[in-house]
Structure 1
Amino acid sequence: AENAKREGVTTLASGLQFEVLTAGAGAKPTREDQVRVHYHGTLIDGNVFDSSYDRGEPAEFPVSGVIAGWTEALQLMNAGSKWRLHVPSELAYGAQGVGSIAPHSVLVFDVELLDVL
Structure 2
Amino acid sequence: MNSIESIDEAKIQAYIKQNNLTMTKDPSGFYYQIVEQGTGDVMLNKDSVFYDFNIKSLSGVEYQKKSTISNFGNYLGYITPSPYRIALTNLKRGGSVKVIFPSYLAFGKNGSGNIPSNEVLISEISTYTQKTQWELDDVKIKAFLSAKGITAIKDPSRVYYQVLTPGTGTDVIDQNSTLVVKYTGRTLDGTVFDSNNSYTTTLTGVIAGWGKVLPLFKSGAKIRLFIPSDLGYGVAGNGTAIPGNSILDFDIEIVSVTN
Same topology, TM > 0.5: yes
The separation in 2 between residues aligned to 1:4 and 1:64, in whole angstroms, is: 28
Work out whether 1:19 is the aligned partner of 2:159: no
Q: Deviations over 1:22-70 (max 9, x none)?
A: 1111133111111000001000000000011xxxx41001112110000
2:184 maps to what in 1?
Answer: 40
Matched letter for residue 80 of structure 1: G
Q: Percent identity?
A: 36
1:79 corresponds to which of 201, 219, 224: 219
* AA matched with 1:45: D
Look up the match of 2:201.
61
Partner of residue 91, structure 1:
231
Question: Could you tell me which amino acid in structure 1 is paired with residue 217 of structure 2?
Answer: M
What is the number of residues matched between the two proteins?
113
Counterpart of 2:165, as a letter, is: T
Partner AA of 1:84 in structure 2: R
Q: Which stretches of structure 1, 4 residues or more, deviate above 4 A after TM superposition? A: 3-7
1:75 is paired with a residue whose SS is helix
Q: Does 1:9 align with 2:152?
A: yes
Greater strand content: 1
8 Å contact from structure 1 (residues 33, 62) kept in 2: yes
Q: Which has the higher contact order (CA 8 A, sep 6+)?
A: 1
Q: Is the 8 A contact 1:3 1:9 kept in 2?
A: no
One-letter amino acid of the counterpart of residue 94, structure 1 = G
> TM-score normalized by structure 1?
0.89
Alignment gaps of 5+ in structure 1: none
Computed over aligned residues only, the root mean square deviation of the Cα atoms, in angstroms, reads: 1.4
Q: Which of 1 and 2 has greater Rg?
A: 2
CA deviations over 1:50-102 (Å, ceiling 9, x no partner): 011xxxx4100111211000011111111100000000001000001012100
Question: Are residues 90 and 74 of structure 1, via their aligned partners in 2, closer, same or farther at CA, if it must alter by over 3 Å?
Answer: same
Q: CA deviation at 1:7?
A: 5.5
